[in-house]
Amino acid sequence: MIFARYMLREFIKLYVSICFGFLIIYCVIDFLEKNTRYFPKYNASAAVVFEYYLVQMPKMFIDMSPFGVMFSGILTAWIFSRSGEIAVLRAAGQPVRRVCAPLLSAGFIISLLCLFIGEYVVPSALLQMQRIEKVKIEKSELSKLFLESQWVSTPDSILHFQKLNQIEHSLVQPEYVVFRSPNNIEKIVHGKRAVFDGKLGTWKLTEATVSRFSESGELAQIEKVDSYATTVVSQPPKLLRDGISSDLVSFRELRQVLREGTSTGGAASVRETDLFQKLSAPFANLLFAFFAFPFALRRERQADTYIGIVASLIIAAVFWGSSAAMRAVAVNGLLPSYVAAWGPTLLFLVLGIVVMLRVDRRS
């Protein structure tokens, strides 16, 4: 137990240092590239540039975390192997899986942390990054930041709109149609814009004109109102088309989009694959923790360590490459989305377990 806490503490210190280093390197490289043309072009202030990179940190952390787990796990296992502590435990009959259990536990906890950040932090952070980029840096007006869409529906109504303002979370020139029956319109509401009412949990049209129809289909009444609440509960940015990244929405929001059929512009297979990858991608942290196992018994030859690091990088590249390839196949409808999302993770996880068991048998 004491050894586990000691190993875990060393792993966490290395993990934090490596992730912080990755983030700094990314920011420096990206800043040097953008500072040659982009930032000077719009005369962006230092405070705005700092905020621009700060809101990117959650997404960058999730993307870089698996490699942080891998490298910190490799270095932790190598340090303890070089000091002979792992050899003592192995001589006492401890299996490799128990020796490296702290690394696996840390990988699992980090996976859950990345899952939480991706669900509750990343979408709002990326939207804020868009606001900073378009408004604070490029000095664009919010009213011009449109992402086109078409409609969303409920069992008895349709909300049609010309454009979606992704930054302001508003709809331009919305038209709300309510049906008595599939072939009988009860009312049509035209509005100047629509905003999402957080208290009601629905979209609300402003400066609206309500046209009511009789059961025979004749126009019965026209009324102008300041606002009109609909029954459409799809929150921004749930109104998705091909041009809107799935990173801008949480797992819950994306699942509701697919359930309600409100993703009107792209193939459903693309969104379904993104949905399952939101769950599977964070567990790459746990998977990469297994890559440290080959180092648990190596301490005599330093060359073995270098070879192992290269091998781990190759395995990581193969994993990400296979994930991208299977996603492309699933998008074309040739493979179920859940298989494309979870297949590489489970396959490499099984491979890691097999390698661990073989190490135990040979020693």
The DSSP annotation for 76-135 comes to HHHHHHHTTHHHHHHHTT--HHHHTHHHHHHHHHHHHHHHHHHHHTHHHHHHHHHHIIII
pLDDT number for residue 66: 92
Task: Determine contact, residues 70/61, Cβ cutoff 8 Å.
Answer: no
**Segment among 128-132, 185-189, 269-273 with least mean pLDDT:** 269-273
What's the average model confidence in pLDDT over 206-226? 89
Residue 83 above 60 pLDDT?
yes
pLDDT number for residue 244: 60
In the predicted model, what is the mean pLDDT of the chain?
Answer: 80
DSSP state of 203: E
What's the average model confidence in pLDDT over 6-12? 89
User: Does the pTM of the predicted model rise above 0.75?
Assistant: no
**Would you state the structure tokens that stand for residue 8, as one six-digit string?**
């875990």
Give the highest mean pLDDT range of 78-87, 140-149, 186-195, 298-307.
186-195
Q: How far is it, in rounded angstroms, from Cα 268 to Cα 181?
A: 27
pLDDT number for residue 246: 74
What's the average model confidence in pLDDT over 42-58? 93
Residues with Cβ < 8 Å from 286, sequence gap 6 or more?
Answer: 104, 107, 108, 110, 111, 349
Which residue would you say has higher pLDDT here, 327 or 121? 121
Count of other CB atoms within 10 angstroms of residue 12: 16
Residues with Cβ < 8 Å from 305, sequence gap 6 or more?
Answer: 78, 295, 298
